Structure 1
Amino acid sequence: MKSKIPTHPLNKSFSKFEGQERNIIIADFDDRSKIFDRQYPHRHTYYEIFLLQDSTGVHHIDFEVYPFSGPVIFLTAPEQVHQLIREKGGHGFAIQFEDDFFDNDNGTDSKLYSYFLFDHFKNHPVIPLTVAEWDKLKTLVDMSLQEYKNNVSGTSSLISAYVKIILMEILRIRKQHFQEQEIQTDIQHQHLLDFKRLLNEQYTTHHEVQDYAEQLRITPRKLNSLVKEFLDKSASQVIKERLLLEAKRLLAINKLNTKEIGYELGFEDPAYFSRFFKQGTGITAAEFKKSLEKTD
């Protein structure tokens, strides 16, 4: 296992358009081998959509194992630790973009895709596809790739529009596969969106439901009810899961000891953090770190 999990930035050196570096990269490949670059646990500073037409293997994402076979979508967000291991290769596409894609005048609902497609709460980072779903997505990606290779006026806006349409289509597919509720822009969904944003920003300093309810100007009971309705778990459980996920990531870095990680996550008492981790995972922090070394 590497002494530190590498973090890779978006490689903007591929090409430029309209005098600016692209903040979106689109690529296709036809790799029949088992080997990709980065055959080790790593993370990105960017979002990635990965589509494979005919491949089998497992994708390790944030310490969960996702087997796959046939047409499939992978969705990874910045800072997620992942490793793709293929038993056989195939044809596919990669779309990569930075966080500012969701802020660059892509519509008022753009953040919905950030927090509902790429989130840590009700995560479905691996989505199987039917042949018809693959064909539809491939058509959209082919069109975006053709535009990506152009270098004319309006290319940037068209590429952003194509990627947003692809995100919308993936969200539709995900809802159908996992029987999820329709995402709305009403006040309840806005509260949920704000709770997710606040938690990602403040999980090291705020561990209680009350902390977030006060900022949302709703009661803890209302927040719990809202989270239960849409995520099928309590707000307290969501907070704990976010802390445990980050604890696992920090343990995987293999640089900080358990006491230091506890302090990093806002636990003043190391013993309490150790109990918290074991209650949440069933094993101690030391045992978790050893389990990662065995999978190296």
Structure 2
Amino acid sequence: MKSKIPTYPLNKSFSKFEEHSRNIIIADFDDRFRIFDRQFPHRHTYYEIFLLQDSSGVHHIDFEAYPFSGPVIFLTAPEQVHQLIRKKGGHGFAIQFEDDFFNNDNGTDSRLYSYFLFDHFQTHPVIPVNEAEWDKLKTLVDLALQEYKNNLSGTSSLISAYVKIILMEILRIRKQHFQEQEIQTGTQHQHLLHFKRLLNEQYTTHHEVQDYAEQLRITPRQLNSLVKQFLNKSASQVIKERLLLEAKRLLAVNSLSIKEAGYELGFEDPAYFSRFFKQGTGMTAAEFKKSVQNTG
């Protein structure tokens, strides 16, 4: 399978590692007099927080268009297909890190950031910020960047702490802007976090709400109620959307036939997969594949 959309590892980012932090990059940039050079569909193997102060355009993330006018925050997770189209350059910051950043800390907070700020369920990967919010974020990122450029005792721990504070601040800003419920570490959120993790691991083999409810040791009705409370969707809708997202990625990124894409996702009947895709997207898989090729 030959990839049609390039995938960039962290060591091929637009900046370089500091010697003491090989799994994270913090950089500032100013390209107000030129256009940023990745204005085509691509993917990363890493997480990215991209803070842009004074530009405008549209950010296509997993085939959804998000118009923006800075200042703005972009949050992208590994494997997401995205294309940032700007009308002009700008200036700001990028924080890029691999999954190790979350895994190195066994605390619940780290996994909450991973699954609630960067996940395949997120509906707000583009977050507008006002001037006061930008100033506060800039102060925090400046401190992280200053530490990143050092090589002193405790530098790695301080960088990790600064980035977690920045994530916490972004979560707070997103909650305020989009009227989201408070993210806490109680039983309900743990069930939701566990459901998200299971779905990301098992969407090719488990397509029914019952499959996940059994593993969570709750009833399908309880799982539906939980998902509806926090995501405003039914559990079956979330499962369907996860499958459709991956179907789009497979059809766009790899030279798979429609039949092969269906098999990859656990659909043994190609006709059923075609109906599933058409019902979920409003177009046939062939039409979607053609539309991506025309815009890629």
TM-score where L is the length of structure 2: 0.96
**Cα contact 2:27–2:145 (8 A) shared by 1:** yes
How many angstroms apart in 2 are the aligned matches of 1:195 and 1:33? Answer: 45
Q: How does 1:42-121 map to 2 (within 5 A)?
A: 42-105=42-105, 107-121=107-121
How many angstroms apart in 2 are the aligned matches of 1:58 and 1:148? Answer: 30
| Unmatched segments (≥5 aa) in structure 1 | none
Question: What's 2:219 paired with?
Answer: 219
Question: What's 2:17 paired with?
Answer: 14
How many angstroms apart in 2 are the aligned matches of 1:126 and 1:28? Answer: 19
- Cα deviation, residue 254, structure 1: 4.1
| Unmatched segments (≥5 aa) in structure 2 | none
Q: How does 1:181-192 map to 2 (within 5 A)?
A: 181-192=181-192
How many angstroms apart in 2 are the aligned matches of 1:27 and 1:106? Answer: 26
- 1:182-240 deviation per Cα after TM superposition (whole angstroms, max 9, x unaligned): 01111110000000000000000000000000000000000000000100000000000
How many angstroms apart in 2 are the aligned matches of 1:108 and 1:120? Answer: 19
How many angstroms apart in 2 are the aligned matches of 1:144 and 1:168? Answer: 14
How many angstroms apart in 1 are the aligned matches of 2:3 and 2:23? Answer: 30
Question: What's 2:151 paired with?
Answer: 151
- Cα deviation, residue 3, structure 1: 5.7
**Cα contact 1:122–1:231 (8 A) shared by 2:** no
Question: What's 2:277 paired with?
Answer: 277
RMSD over aligned CA atoms reads 1.3
Q: How does 1:236-275 map to 2 (within 5 A)?
A: 236-275=236-275
Question: What's 1:228 paired with?
Answer: 228
TM-score where L is the length of structure 1: 0.96
1:137 corresponds to which letter in structure 2?
A: L
**Cα contact 1:34–1:87 (8 A) shared by 2:** no
- Cα deviation, residue 33, structure 1: 3.4
Q: Which runs of 4+ in 1 moved over 6 A?
A: none
Secondary structure at the residue paired with 1:88?
coil
Secondary structure at the residue paired with 2:205?
coil
How many angstroms apart in 2 are the aligned matches of 1:72 and 1:41? Answer: 20
1:138 corresponds to which letter in structure 2?
A: K
Question: What's 2:132 paired with?
Answer: 132
**Cα contact 1:73–1:128 (8 A) shared by 2:** yes
2:5 corresponds to which letter in structure 1?
A: I
Which moves more between the two structures, 99-108 or 113-122?
99-108
**Cα contact 1:106–1:160 (8 A) shared by 2:** no
- Cα deviation, residue 38, structure 1: 2.3
How many angstroms apart in 1 are the aligned matches of 2:8 and 2:176? Answer: 33
Aligned residue-pair number: 292
- 1:7-36 deviation per Cα after TM superposition (whole angstroms, max 9, x unaligned): 11111853211xxx5211000011113522
How many angstroms apart in 2 are the aligned matches of 1:31 and 1:68? Answer: 17
**Cα contact 2:252–2:293 (8 A) shared by 1:** no
The answer to whether structure 1 residue 25 and structure 2 residue 28 are counterparts is no
